[in-house]
C-alpha cells in the first residue's frame, strides 16, 4: 500500500513544490517507488520534474473528472522510481466543474486507489489555497507535511492550517494525521530565521522535523533545468538538507 502524503500550506511561496519535488527525488533514490501529484494549476512541480505535457495528453484534470485513470495520466520522469501525475493551468477549471458533482471532495482519493499497489510513496503538491483542490488532497492523504517558511507570521499560518486539518479529520477523513512541519528557507545569518525555528519548535514539540531546509541558490535554480536537486547539485547544502529530510521521514515508517 502506498503512503499518501499531502504537502500543504495555504500560503504561496513557502516551499511546497520545492519540497515535493526534491523530497520525491530522494525518496526515489532510496528505492521508494514514488509519485508526485501536481494539484496546483500553476503546474510548477510538473515543470520542475522536467515534464512537458503534450497537447491532448491526460493530466490530473482529466483524472479528477474521471475521464482517465491515474495509471493513464501517470508519467515517468528522467529519474528512476520517480513518477508524476502532471498538471497544466487547465486544472483551475476542474475546481469549478466539480462544484456541483457528487463526492467532489473524494475524486483524488478514488483516483489514487489505482496506484496503491504499485507505489510506496505518493506526495501531493498542493496549491496555495484551501479550496476544493486542497480539500481533495487532504481527503486523500494519510498524513500531512507542512513546509513553513522562516518568516514573520509563520506560526499564525501554521496554527490556522492545523485547525483546517482538524476540520477535515472530523468531516472528511478521520484517519488523517499531521506528520510534521518542515522549516524552509532558513537563513542562519538572520535573527528572524533563528527566532522562527525556536518558536515553531516550542509551540509544536514533537511535530517539527529536525531537518531544516536552508535558503540555497541551487534549490532555486534546479526547476529551470527540469531536474531534482539529486541530479542538479547533489553536493549543495539544499541537497543535503532534503536528503536528511527523506531519511528522517523514512525512519518514521520503520
Ligand atoms: N530553500 C530554498 N532556497 C532558495 N529558494 C527556494 C527554496 N525553497 C523554495 N525556493 C524558491 O522560492 C520560490 C517558492 O518556492 P515554492 O517551492 O515554489 O513554494 P510554493 O510551492 O509553496 O509556492 C521558488 O522560486 C523556489 O525556487
Ligand atoms: Mg507550489
- Ligand 1 atom nearest to 12, measured from its CA: 23
What residue ranges in 108-240 does DSSP mark as E strands? 121-125, 143-149, 177-186, 208-214
Q: Quick one: pLDDT at residue 117?
A: 96
Strand order across the beta sheet in which 121-125 lies: 75-76, 82-85, 34-38, 121-125, 3-7, 143-149, 177-186, 208-214
CB < 8 Å & 24+ apart, contacts of 102-106: 104/132, 104/136, 105/132, 105/135, 105/136, 105/139, 105/172, 106/136, 106/139, 106/140, 106/172
pLDDT of residue 168: 97
Strands 75-76, 82-85: pairing is antiparallel
Listed by start position, the domains of the chain span 3-249
User: Each residue of 201-245: pLDDT tens digit?
Assistant: 999 999 999 999 999 999 999 999 999 999 999 999 999 999 999
Domain 3-249 superfamily per CATH: P-loop containing nucleotide triphosphate hydrolases (3.40.50.300)
Output the residue whose Cα is nearest ligand 1's atom 3. 215
How does pLDDT run across 55-98, given as a tens digit for each residue?
999 999 999 999 999 999 999 999 999 999 999 999 999 989 99
Q: What pLDDT, on a 0 to 100 scale, did the predictor assign at position 254?
A: 75
Whole-number pLDDT of residue 18: 98
pLDDT the model gives residue 234: 98
Average pLDDT over residues 89-117: 95
Q: What integer pLDDT is reported at residue 11 of this predicted model?
A: 94
Question: Which atom of ligand 1 is the closest one to the Cα of 186?
Answer: 1
- 213 Cβ inside 6 Å of ligand 1: yes
- Average pLDDT of span 116-142: 97
Please list all protein residues whose beta carbon sits less than 5 angstroms from ligand 2, which is an ion.
Answer: 16-17, 44
Task: Give mean pLDDT, residues 151-178.
Answer: 94
In short, whether 76's Cβ falls inside 6 Å of ligand 1 is: no
pLDDT over 80 (residue 172):
yes
Length of the chain: 254
Question: Ligand 1 within 6 A of 187 CB?
Answer: no
* Confidence category of residue 253, pLDDT binned at 50, 70, 90: confident
User: Rounded distance, CA 236 to CA 234, Å?
Assistant: 6
Give the model confidence (pLDDT) of 130-147 as tens digits.
999 999 999 999 999 999
Please report the pLDDT score of residue 252 as a whole number: 92
> Residue 19 C-alpha to ligand 1 middle, in angstroms?
8
Ligand 1 closest atom vs CA 222: 27
Query: pLDDT for 27-55, tens place per residue?
Result: 999 999 999 999 999 999 999 999 999 99
Amino acid at each position: 500500500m502506498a503512503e499518501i502524503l499531502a504537502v500543504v500550506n495555504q500560503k504561496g511561496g513557502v516551499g511546497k513544490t520545492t519540497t515535493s519535488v526534491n523530497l520525491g527525488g530522494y525518496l526515489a533514490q532510496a528505492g521508494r517507488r514514488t509519485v508526485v501529484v501536481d494539484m496546483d494549476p500553476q503546474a510548477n512541480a510538473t515543470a520542475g520534474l522536467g515534464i512537458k505535457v503534450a497537447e491532448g495528453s491526460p493530466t490530473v484534470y482529466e483524472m479528477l473528472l474521471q475521464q482517465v485513470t491515474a495509471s493513464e495520466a501517470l508519467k515517468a520522469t528522467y529519474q528512476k522510481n520517480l513518477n508524476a501525475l502532471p498538471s497544466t493551468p487547465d486544472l483551475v477549471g476542474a475546481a469549478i466543474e466539480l462544484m456541483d458533482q457528487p463526492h467532489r471532495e473524494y475524486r483524488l482519493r478514488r483516483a489514487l486507489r489505482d496506484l496503491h499497489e504499485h507505489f510506496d510513496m505518493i506526495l501531493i503538491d498542493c496549491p496555495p489555497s484551501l479550496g476544493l483542490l486542497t480539500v481533495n488532497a487532504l481527503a486523500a492523504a494519510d498524513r500531512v507535511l507542512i513546509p513553513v517558511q522562516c518568516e514573520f507570521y509563520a506560526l499564525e499560518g501554521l496554527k490556522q492550517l492545523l485547525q483546517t486539518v482538524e476540520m477535515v479529520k472530523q468531516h472528511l477523513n478521520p484517519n488523517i494525521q499531521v506528520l510534521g512541519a518542515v522549516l524552509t528557507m532558513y537563513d542562519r545569518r538572520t535573527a528572524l530565521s533563528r527566532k522562527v525555528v525556536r518558536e515553531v519548535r516550542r509551540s509544536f514539540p514533537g511535530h517539527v522535523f529536525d531537518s531544516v531546509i536552508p535558503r540555497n541558490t541551487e534549490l532555486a535554480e534546479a526547476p529551470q533545468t527540469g531536474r531534482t536537486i539529486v541530479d542538479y547539485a547533489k553536493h549543495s547544502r539544499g541537497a543535503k538538507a532534503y536528503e536528511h529530510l527523506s531519511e528522517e521521514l523514512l525512519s518514521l515508517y520503520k
